[in-house]
């Protein structure tokens, strides 16, 4: 098998939310956007790709060469035990639907242990792509534990145990899991054509964060670091925070507590195109996460030749070489982040070179076409 051979791949979505798996309206969250982008590039290489998603009705849709099979499911989106059950039901429905087609499917691409649990019983080669933190004993990080400790561990154990290969999005995770499972490091990607760096004239310079408003994204550390800048610098550089999440009210309260209302702007969730436009309008993009599996927003900002700053956790460390194509700071360290913010808002000597290096890094490693070629290489090795 090589790039010219046609493969039939069933890609099972996360089953997490109907609201953010809307391909027709370009309403896709991070993982769903990766599922579609990779599927599109693999289909352009001549492969037959079908995405199975939890949806509000039964029907099949086509987006270019990518097929989307909708599996009608109960519309529930709030994280917790009920959503977990909805995902398991979705998995069972997928199994029933795929059963008669199983002999025509070469590979299952799986991303979520609950939405794909029953599919792991099928005797089809399975590739697991880990987009989120690995719970329990498979990782030291436990921030994303789901409600039931025992059930979660059971599902993860059998989820990994029944796979033929596991894809990790960062090198640290690869080092951890490759000791026990067949693994390959393949990063996330972007569709480069969407990131034409059209210059947007803005009355004020911006430092930007974009993503979920949750505690482990470290937005609070960014706000405190920004607050340490001189009043002159804060007048020159506005801080823009874009996103939604359960931590939003605390962020708003912190901004008020520090009397930063005139310097910090908060926007809600934006679709992909509108989000890209916001990145285009900024000079500096900051991802201050306490944990990050990958950090696709860094790649988006780098493709637009922005200065990127991120905490030195697993995902960003895979992408950024400190001082070459961006900057890394110690996670949760306000002073460390402040020093970099002060540097990049004051010094200009090497910033253009760093921006160009960031762009070159994306072209070389992080486009969907490059990522798809690595998947084809993996599938070759699996045969």
Q: What is the CATH number of the domain that holds 238?
A: 3.40.50.2000
- Domain extent for 153: 8-189+367-382
Span 51-56, average pLDDT: 89
* Residues 376 and 321 occupy one common structural domain: no
Same-domain check for residues 149 and 219? no
Same domain, 85 and 137: yes
Is 348 in the same domain as 375?
no
Q: Are residues 159 and 216 in the same domain?
A: no
In a domain, 121, yes or no: yes
Distance separating alpha carbons of residues 292 and 310, to the nearest angstrom: 10
3-class secondary structure, 274: helix
Pairing status of strand 8-12 against strand 48-55: parallel
* H-run or E-run covering 284: strand 284-287
CA distance 14 to 52: 9
278 and 357 within one domain: yes
On whether both 133 and 276 belong to a single domain, the answer is no
Q: How far is the C-alpha of 290 from the C-alpha of 143, rounded, in Å?
A: 10
Q: Each residue of 275-309: pLDDT tens digit? A: 999 999 999 999 999 999 999 999 999 999 999 99
Q: Is position 1 within any domain? A: no
Q: Are 55 and 21 in contact (CB under 8 A)?
A: yes
Query: Strand 27-28 to strand 21-22: parallel, antiparallel, or no bridges (unpaired)?
Result: antiparallel
- 260 & 231 share domain: yes
What is the tens place of the pLDDT at every residue in 195-248?
876 666 567 899 999 999 999 999 999 999 999 999 999 999 999 999 999 999
Mean pLDDT of the chain: 88
Domain count, the chain: 2
* Whether 192 contacts 362, CB under 8 Å: yes
Which DSSP string do the residues of 73-127 spell out, in sequence order? -----SSSHHHHHHHHHHHHHHHHHHHTTGGG--EEEE--TTTTGGGGGSSSEEE
pLDDT digits (tens, 9 = 90+) for 95-123: 999 998 888 999 999 998 889 999 999 99
């Amino acid at each position: 098998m090589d790039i010219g051979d046609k493969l039939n791949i069933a890609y099972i979505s996360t089953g997490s939310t109907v609201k953010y798996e809307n391909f027709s309206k370009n309403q896709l969250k991070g993982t769903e956007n990766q599922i579609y982008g990779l599927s599109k590039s693999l289909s352009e290489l001549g492969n037959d790709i079908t995405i199975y998603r939890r949806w509000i009705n039964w029907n099949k849709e086509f987006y270019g060469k990518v097929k989307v099979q909708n599996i009608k499911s109960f519309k529930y989106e709030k994280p917790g035990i009920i959503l977990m059950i909805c995902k398991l039901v979705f998995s069972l429905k997928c199994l029933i639907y795929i059963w008669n087609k199983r002999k025509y499917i070469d590979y299952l691409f799986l991303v979520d242990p609950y939405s794909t649990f029953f599919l792991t019983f099928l005797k089809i080669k399975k590739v697991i792509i880990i987009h989120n933190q690995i719970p329990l004993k498979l990782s030291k990080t436990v921030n994303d534990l789901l409600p039931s400790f025992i059930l979660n561990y059971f599902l993860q154990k059998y989820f990994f145990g029944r796979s033929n290969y596991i894809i990790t999005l960062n090198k640290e995770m690869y080092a951890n899991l490759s000791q026990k499972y067949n693994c390959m490091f393949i990063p996330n990607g972007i569709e480069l054509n969407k990131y034409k760096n059209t210059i947007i004239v803005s009355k004020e310079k911006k430092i930007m964060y974009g993503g979920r408003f949750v505690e482990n994204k470290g937005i609070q550390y960014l706000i405190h670091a920004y607050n340490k800048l001189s009043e002159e610098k804060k007048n020159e550089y506005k801080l823009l925070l874009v996103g939604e999440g359960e931590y939003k009210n605390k962020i708003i309260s912190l901004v008020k507590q520090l009397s930063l209302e005139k310097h910090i702007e908060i926007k809600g969730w934006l679709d992909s195109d509108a989000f890209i436009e916001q990145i285009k309008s900024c000079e500096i993009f900051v991802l201050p996460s306490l944990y990050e599996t990958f950090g696709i927003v860094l790649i988006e900002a780098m493709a637009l030749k922005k200065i990127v700053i991120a905490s030195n956790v697993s995902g960003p460390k895979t992408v950024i070489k400190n001082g070459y194509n961006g900057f890394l700071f110690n996670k949760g360290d306000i002073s460390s982040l402040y020093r970099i913010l002060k540097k990049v808002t004051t010094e200009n000597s090497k910033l253009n070179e760093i921006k160009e290096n960031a762009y070159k890094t994306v072209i070389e490693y992080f486009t969907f076409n490059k990522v798809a070629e690595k998947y084809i290489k993996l599938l070759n090795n699996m045969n």
